[in-house]
Each structure stands twice: as structure tokens, then as C-alpha cells.
């Protein structure tokens, strides 16, 4: 897998899903991400990050609750939200931000 920093600097937008294996609501996110990927294809990269395995990154990004979704493009954080967001709300939001 590409280096995360390189990926985030890309001009292809990256949706980052910060999750934890013990988090109940986090289990609802992967089907939402699949639906977004099906609808948006290669115009968006999706990365999932386990905050327990990446504690330094979770601390750097100040992740205090999971799931947290973040949208990056060219290294800039364009949007961030904690909690489960349905795909039909996320897709227009992502398109608006990119």
C-alpha cells in the first residue's frame, strides 16, 4: 500500500475512515463505504485506519470518537465528521467538497 502521507497529498480525494474493532457503530460503515466506492469509482480513494493499531496517527488527528470520517485532497483536510453517516448523505457532501 502507498504511504499514507503520499496518498493524502494526491490530487485524488481520499476518504479516511478511522475505526476500532471494538466499536459497534464502526461495523455499519464498511457497507456505506462500498456503496460510495460503487457510485464514485476512481474519483475517490477510501482508506480505513484502525486507531488502536495507529495510535500515533489517531493522536495527531485528535480522534476522540469513532467512527470518524475525514476527507483529504492535496494534503488538506476538507471535511471531518464523527458518527455513522448514510451513503445517500455522504455522496453529495463529498462531491460538493471536491
Q: 81 forms bridges with which residues in the sheet?
A: 69
Q: pLDDT at position 2, please? A: 55
Annotation: CATH topology of 4-97: Glutaredoxin (3.40.30)
What amino acid positions are annotated as catalytic residues?
Answer: 23, 26
pLDDT tens column, 32-86: 999 999 999 999 999 999 999 999 999 999 999 999 999 999 999 999 999 999 9
Helix, strand and coil percent figures for the chain, each rounded to 5: 45, 25, 30
Query: Where does 3-86 have alpha helices with state H?
Result: 4-9, 29-40, 55-60
pLDDT tens column, 21-37: 999 999 999 999 999 99
Amino acid at each position: 500500500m502507498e504511504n499514507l502521507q503520499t496518498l493524502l497529498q494526491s490530487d485524488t480525494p481520499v476518504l479516511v475512515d478511522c475505526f476500532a474493532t471494538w466499536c459497534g457503530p464502526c461495523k455499519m460503515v464498511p457497507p456505506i463505504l462500498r456503496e460510495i466506492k460503487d457510485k464514485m469509482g476512481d474519483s475517490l480513494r477510501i482508506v480505513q485506519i484502525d486507531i488502536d493499531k495507529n495510535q500515533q496517527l489517531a493522536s495527531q488527528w485528535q480522534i476522540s470518537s469513532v467512527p470518524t470520517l475525514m476527507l483529504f485532497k492535496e494534503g488538506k483536510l476538507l471535511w471531518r465528521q464523527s458518527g455513522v453517516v448514510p451513503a445517500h448523505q455522504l455522496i453529495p457532501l463529498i462531491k460538493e467538497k471536491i
